[in-house]
Each structure stands twice: as structure tokens, then as C-alpha cells.
Amino acid sequence: MIIRQIETGAMANFSYLVGCAATGEAAAIDPGFEIERLIAEAEASGLKITAIVATHGHPDHSAGCAALKRRTGAPIFIHAADASPHIPADRLFHGDDELRVGKILFRVIHTPGHTPGGICLYAEGNLFTGDTLFVGDSGRTDLPGGHRPTLAASIRRLMTLPDNTVVWPGHDYGPTASSTIGWEKRHNVNAKEYGYFVDPAGNPP
């Protein structure tokens, strides 16, 4: 799996190119801004964008979907609960789902709470979390459609993934650009509130 993390825009957004090394096909995840940079990075990496995925409907993660589709011809994917006339989706996810890009099979995990249709994408030990889970924190719930208890339940689901799962967030808001599920269990500021804290020795509270 080829992963390119690209910071764009004024809000420290992360867009991602996730490519199949065998076929050269790639998913563009959260193309909110600066799609020319995504296209240039794909070309430099020998990748062809064949899927465009928005982890949720907020413009800083989805505003570039339509333009990227026009440039690449790739279909757009988003969860039905975040569907919008501004995002010309070709396929809507319903609940948990799957998405294949080349030989990569993404597990699409419905993680509402930041928005009703928030999703995370898991494949080959990597988790792309959008605004559900940040490095050391979690997405805000004070915007329309946000609900803190629902987000907590979504994050508890993510904490069942292996500890060595790499967390790739939707913003560069933490001390590092990525982390792991194991690190989040120990250090995330919401860990105790959300009920997934373990101490450095691995013991539950």
C-alpha cells in the first residue's frame, strides 16, 4: 500500500492518496482543497486516481470532490447520511460497507457523531479517520448533526482494532501527523471519558 499524506488549506487539513502498489490505482480521501496538488502527487507517485472518498460532508473535506471527478473521471463515494447536492456522489454507503481500489479492500466503518454520515476507512493496518479521531483528540460535536455520546460510541468501536493500527487523521491538530490505536488508548484526552483508557502498563482503569 502506498500512502501519501498531503496537508492543504488554512485549517491544517490532511488529504490522502492511498494507492495499490500492484495496480497503480488509488483512492483520493478528503479532497477538500488544492486538488492540483493531489493530481500532481498522484502523477509523481505513478498512481491513477480511481476513487474519490469523502469521510464526511463538511466542505473542508469534500469541496474538491466534484472538480477532482471532472479531472480524473473517478467516482465519488460518501455515506448516505451526509449526501448533499453539492457532492455529486456516484455511490452512497449505508452503514458499514466495503470499497475495493485495485487489490486494496477498504473496510468502511460508519462512525457517526461528528456528522451523521461520518466514516473511517480501514485497510492493511491503516485507519483513515477524517474528523472522527485526531491524534490525541476527537472531532467536535457542536456543529449541526454532531452528538458527543454517538461520537464516543463510534470511537469505542475503533479502539477494538489492533493496537498497532496506524491512525491517519483528517487534520494536523496533534503532536504528530499520525499515531496508533494503542497510543490513543493511553494518551488521547478523551480516553477516560470515552471509556477506552489503559495505563502505560496496559491495565484498564
Instruction: Tell me how many degrees the CA angle 18-6-121 measures, rounded to the nearest 5.
Output: 40
Check residue 92 and give left, alpha or beta (phi > 0: left; psi -120 to 50: alpha). beta
- pTM given for the model: 0.93
- Closest by Cα among 82, 30, 26, 21 to 50: 26
Is residue 66 in some structural domain? yes
- Whichever domain contains 71, its CATH number is 3.60.15.10
Q: What CA–CA distance (Å, rounded) separates 163 from 88?
A: 36
Summarize pLDDT for 73-87 with one digit per residue, the tens.
999 999 999 999 889
Give bridge partners of residue 5 from the DSSP assignment: 16
Q: What is the pLDDT of residue 11?
A: 87
Residues (pLDDT < 70) of the chain are 198-205
Q: What is the pLDDT of residue 126?
A: 98
Is residue 203 in some structural domain? no
Q: What CA–CA distance (Å, rounded) separates 194 from 190?
A: 6
Q: What is the pLDDT of residue 192?
A: 83
Q: What is the pLDDT of residue 203?
A: 54
Is residue 202 in some structural domain? no
Q: What is the pLDDT of residue 9?
A: 81
**Domain total of the chain:** 1
Is residue 42 in some structural domain? yes
134, 128 contact by CB (below 8 A): no
Is residue 75 in some structural domain? yes
Q: What CA–CA distance (Å, rounded) separates 51 from 86?
A: 18
Is residue 70 in some structural domain? yes
Is residue 77 in some structural domain? yes
Is residue 200 in some structural domain? no
State the residue range of the domain holding 102.
2-194
